[in-house]
Amino acid sequence: MLNPSYVGRSLPTTAPVTITAESVTRFARSLGLADDGSVPPTYLISLTLPAADPLVDDPEFGLDFSRVLHREQRFAYHRELRAGDAVACTVTVESVKTVAGNDLLALHTGVTDAEGLAAEVWTTLFVAGDPS
């Protein structure tokens, strides 16, 4: 079971990461998209999911990633991101809900660049309960 006292907590903001043309190309190709040089709308998952790693590494939170299923993802762009932009991510635990012995974890990640908030990503994970 996840520790509900983490609701409302934000993880430390990640160090800025530069979006590279190579990473955009690899991501687009992995989805079968044409490589037109634009950042695919779902590209940010490659940055926001690793930004949540401290939750996986925190034994007090209780997240066993081997029990996680991705449930939902939403993206809101406040401006277009391009290769060469440096972005940082701040993950906040929005909610932890227990349903039938399983947890639903909702995360919000703010993605900022030199101009401020560039995008927001909401992630919902299903965490299977202990079968014992």
Quote the CA–CA distance of 96 and 107 in Å, as a whole number.
Answer: 9
Quote the CA–CA distance of 80 and 24 in Å, as a whole number.
Answer: 14
- Mean pLDDT, residues 102-128 taken together: 97
40, 89, 93, 114, 132 from 21: Cα distances, Å = 12, 19, 31, 19, 47
**Residue 35 pLDDT:** 79
In a domain, 108, yes or no: yes
Helix spans in the chain (H):
21-30, 45-51, 53-57
Q: What is the pTM of this model?
A: 0.93
User: How many structural domains are present in the chain?
Assistant: 1
pLDDT digits (tens, 9 = 90+) for 24-73: 999 999 999 887 888 998 999 999 999 999 999 999 999 999 999 999 99
CATH number at residue 64: 3.10.129.10
Query: Could you tell me the residue range of the domain that residue 58 belongs to?
Result: 4-127
Tokens 């039938």 correspond to 100
In a domain, 80, yes or no: yes
- Asked whether the beta carbons of 82 and 24 are under 8 A apart, the reply is no
In a domain, 60, yes or no: yes
Tell me: pLDDT of 132 over 80.
Answer: no
